[in-house]
């Protein structure tokens, strides 16, 4: 009969330690696999969400006696896909124009709308000499990199300017509320683009010369309902 092997205390300790290490490695491998699966799921979900156009809602009203040149583009996807809306206005005279527009997109749907209420009366416009000689200027630019929004307003050759600008930005929302009455030159611009993987869902730029009353209310972010007070 073959004798049973005799283990010294150090040998038994080594075998026990080897078993513990093997079990620990197996558990560590299992945790690593589960963690990798969770990270893949998280990155896949966030990657899909990062490719959806950013939501926004705007209400833009302009009354002007002079010259105006503005344009806006709304879209949800690149190229010949998704929703596209383009609007432009240019000319001299007396104009009253209100634009209400929105883009809403999620993983299940894309929705966009634009409502324009306008009245244009053509009259050739020549800026008064007093305006062209003014050196008064005023400018503001606000950006929210977490949401992907920017808004700018600038005024030059100012004869008269009364403005009330209110801006709120956090990690999820940007709110821009601009009211200006000016005689001079005004430039208003805004851009909404969630990140480099998405198209700009909104681009607007406008130049206005003469006497004007401008009101812009805009909200960008996860909520698509404008919650600013009516003027």
In a domain, 228, yes or no: no
The answer to whether residues 157 and 210 touch, using CB atoms and an 8 Å cutoff, is: no
- Tell me the average pLDDT of the chain: 80
Distance separating alpha carbons of residues 149 and 128, to the nearest angstrom? 36
Note the Cα 52 to chain centre separation in Å.
Answer: 12
Shared domain for 18 and 127, answered yes or no, is no
Mean pLDDT value across residues 30-48: 47
Shared domain for 88 and 42, answered yes or no, is no
In a domain, 149, yes or no: yes
| pLDDT interval class at 48 (50, 70, 90) | low
Asked if the model's pLDDT at residue 108 lies above 80, the reply is: yes
Asked if the model's pLDDT at residue 182 lies above 70, the reply is: yes
Shared domain for 39 and 60, answered yes or no, is no
Distance separating alpha carbons of residues 169 and 145, to the nearest angstrom? 10
Q: Two tokens at 129?
A: 């000499």
Shared domain for 46 and 60, answered yes or no, is no
What pLDDT, on the 0 to 100 scale, is given for residue 189?
95
Number of Cβ within 10 Å of residue 85's Cβ equals 15
What's the number of domains the chain is made of? 2
Helix (H) / strand (E) containing 6: none
Could you tell me what percent of the chain has a pLDDT over 90?
58
First-to-last alpha carbon distance for the chain, in angstroms, is 103
The answer to whether residues 95 and 230 touch, using CB atoms and an 8 Å cutoff, is: no
Boundary of a domain, candidates 14, 30, 50: 50
The answer to whether residues 200 and 149 touch, using CB atoms and an 8 Å cutoff, is: no
Distance separating alpha carbons of residues 61 and 166, to the nearest angstrom? 16
In a domain, 201, yes or no: yes
| pLDDT interval class at 197 (50, 70, 90) | confident
Boundary of a domain, candidates 34, 50, 66: 50
- For the chain, give percent helix, strand, coil, nearest 5: 20, 55, 25
Poorest-confidence range of 34-48, 96-110, 187-201, 211-225? 34-48
Phi, psi torsion values for 171, nearest 5 degrees: -70, -20
Domain that holds residue 62: 56-221
Shared domain for 94 and 109, answered yes or no, is yes
What pLDDT, on the 0 to 100 scale, is given for residue 41?
44
Task: Locate all alpha helices (DSSP H) within 51-132, ordered by sequence.
Answer: 129-132
Asked if the model's pLDDT at residue 14 lies above 70, the reply is: no
Asked if the model's pLDDT at residue 231 lies above 90, the reply is: no
Asked if the model's pLDDT at residue 61 lies above 70, the reply is: yes
Shared domain for 114 and 78, answered yes or no, is yes
In a domain, 226, yes or no: no
């Amino acid at each position: 009969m073959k004798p049973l092997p005799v283990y010294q205390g150090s040998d038994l300790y080594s075998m026990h330690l080897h078993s513990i290490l093997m079990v620990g490695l197996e558990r560590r491998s299992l945790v690593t696999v589960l963690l990798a699966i969770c990270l893949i799921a998280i990155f896949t979900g966030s990657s899909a969400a990062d490719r959806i156009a950013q939501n926004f809602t705007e209400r833009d009203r302009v009354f002007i006696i002079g010259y105006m040149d503005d344009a806006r583009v709304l879209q949800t996807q690149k190229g010949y896909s998704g929703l596209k809306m383009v609007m432009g206005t240019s000319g001299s005279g007396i104009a009253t124009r209100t634009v209400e527009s929105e883009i809403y997109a999620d993983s299940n749907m894309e929705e966009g709308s634009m409502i324009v209420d306008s009245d244009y009366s053509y009259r050739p416009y020549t800026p008064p000499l007093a305006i062209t000689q003014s050196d008064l200027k005023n400018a503001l630019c606000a950006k929210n990199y977490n949401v992907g929004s920017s808004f700018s307003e600038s005024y030059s050759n100012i004869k008269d300017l009364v403005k009330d600008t209110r801006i709120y930005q956090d990690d999820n929302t940007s709110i821009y509320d601009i009211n200006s009455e000016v005689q001079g030159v005004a430039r208003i611009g805004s851009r909404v683009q969630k990140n480099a993987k998405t198209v700009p869902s909104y681009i607007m730029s406008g130049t206005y010369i003469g006497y004007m009353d401008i009101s812009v209310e805009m909200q960008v972010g996860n909520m698509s309902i404008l919650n600013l007070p009516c003027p």
